[in-house]
Amino acid sequence: MVAVFPWLDHGVALVCLAAVCGVANTIVEEDSHTYHFCRNAGTKVLGEHLSFTLLPAELTVAWHTNGLVCGKPCVHWALSRDHLEQGFDEQDRLNKSCGETQEYLVSPNTTAYVYHAIIGPLRPGQRYFYQVYHSASHNISNGIPVSFSMDTISGEIFEFVAPVKDPAPSATRHQTRVLFFGDSGNSEEWHNGTVPAVASEVASGNISMVIHTGDMAYYAEDDGGQRGGMHAEELSNATGHIVPLMTVPGNGDVFCYRPPGIPTWAACTEDYQRRYIMPGWNRTHSLWSAFDLGSVHYLLLDSEAQTWCNANQNQSEQLIFAEEDLMRVDRTQVPWVVVVLHRPLYSSCANVKEQQMMRDGFAALLLKYRVDLVLNGHVHSYERTWPVKGDYNESDNATVQHGDGISLELYIDPVYPVHVIAGTAGNGESIDDCTHDAGVYNWTFSAVRSNDIGYGRLEAHNRSHLEIDFFSVTQGKVLDSFVIQRTYRNTSHVDIL
């Protein structure tokens, strides 16, 4: 069989024998040119998930494949499943966006292939359908085709509702409900407990977003570096591929196989940076980001930049970003501020010196800009603090707020931030039993603790009431629930002296 490629305008006719065309990723040399033939058959699209961008009417779609795929990575989206299934639409009801391929080593012998594309503009509250695909095509370098794809591969068709990110005044901003958890993967509790429970809530249509507080890929370097992709696929299954998945890196997401020498922070977080595309990723490499959703401003930060010995430059850049971001928040329009960090500033059983390091890096910032809530992982248990100032060290306990409207179920106008740890999604390591440690140390900051597998819910009812629950997958019920109540804010931020 002879196949001639008509787009070759440099006078070279490629002869493709049946034996060659039937083999994936074949190299053929002809007239001093090297051509790469790709058979996409057998390669799968995996792990599709959504995330926010810097623009309110856009979303990023990210995914990976289990092998090399030729053809540009693209996304079709439309108002109807039929439009996607039928393909070409003369009435322009089928939208198309193509994006970028990220190809990088995750071990000396294993290459990861991840992709992302931005879809939009989207109409807030509108229901859409989307499907990623890699089309049969040829790639050109300097006017010469260098690779040819013989097949088109596609992912599944997924349905989502475009988020309402609310440019409207605060009084009319809609209610949002968010799930949060961290430290997931590599355990039966995660596979058969948290994943189906979270997926069920997302499928109900009442969830606006899922936040992962870090450690998304336990032992990501295992299995030739492919375990990170396996965890990404399972995490996208938990979110149902249909609500934005927003993330921060944890210490479990940092691994370096690189040759001898001092590992760089960029190299050791490469897999995380490329798999999870956060707002402004081209500036911050997805390590820190910020966005509004309804009446809540979210600031997602990288705790590892504070604790890694050779990441000082990253931490300096991050703190500048965080300060500039919090300064811009108008609390009359976006009254709530939530910060997400992997490592906690307060825990009844985490390393005391590590907590102090985190407070040294972030506590003053949280106080200065009156952050309402801090979400953490890292510790494999659930813990909720009283409003806490952040001024204790190894020999002193924390300044906490009791009385004056502060009870176990209701915090009225707390002066200090509240911290919630939910590193409880289930992982290959053991649960941290913080209940007995709290008794030993008698930390005054600790309000509620649990060792159950589960996840958190954050519901912004309106400008004055923020409700936080901890749902136990182990027991199938809510174990902790409290409300932060605020009076109307008439300043953009409040300094606490």
For residues 92 and 163, which has the higher predicted lDDT (pLDDT)? 163
Instruction: Look up the pTM and report it.
Output: 0.88
For residues 183 and 253, which has the higher predicted lDDT (pLDDT)? 183
In the predicted model, is pLDDT for residue 182 greater than 60?
yes
What does the angle CA 379 – CA 382 – CA 387 come to, to the nearest 5 degrees? 100
pLDDT-derived band at 323, boundaries 50, 70, 90: very high
From 28-32, 48-52, 205-209, the region with the lowest mean pLDDT: 28-32
CA distances (Å), origin 138, targets 70, 79, 169, 229, 253: 8, 30, 49, 27, 35
Using a pLDDT cut of 70, give the percent of the chain over it: 76
In the predicted model, is pLDDT for residue 461 greater than 90?
yes
Q: What is the pLDDT of residue 92?
A: 57
Query: For all residues of the chain together, what is the average pLDDT?
Result: 81
- 132: which strand partners? 75
Copy the structure tokens of residue 382: 């659930």
For residues 485 and 84, which has the higher predicted lDDT (pLDDT)? 485
pLDDT-derived band at 89, boundaries 50, 70, 90: low
In the predicted model, is pLDDT for residue 405 greater than 70?
yes
- Alpha carbon 476 to its chain centroid, in Å, reads 25
DSSP state of 252: G
Q: How many CA atoms lie less than 13 Å away from 371 in the CB half-sphere?
A: 28
pLDDT-derived band at 258, boundaries 50, 70, 90: low
For residues 37 and 268, which has the higher predicted lDDT (pLDDT)? 268
Q: What is the pLDDT of residue 293?
A: 94
DSSP state of 172: G
> pLDDT tens-digit profile of 444-458?
889 999 999 999 999
Q: What is the pLDDT of residue 265?
A: 65
pLDDT-derived band at 253, boundaries 50, 70, 90: confident
Q: What is the pLDDT of residue 246?
A: 97
Q: Which of the listed ranges 13-27, 75-89, 391-405 does the model predict with the highest average pLDDT? A: 75-89
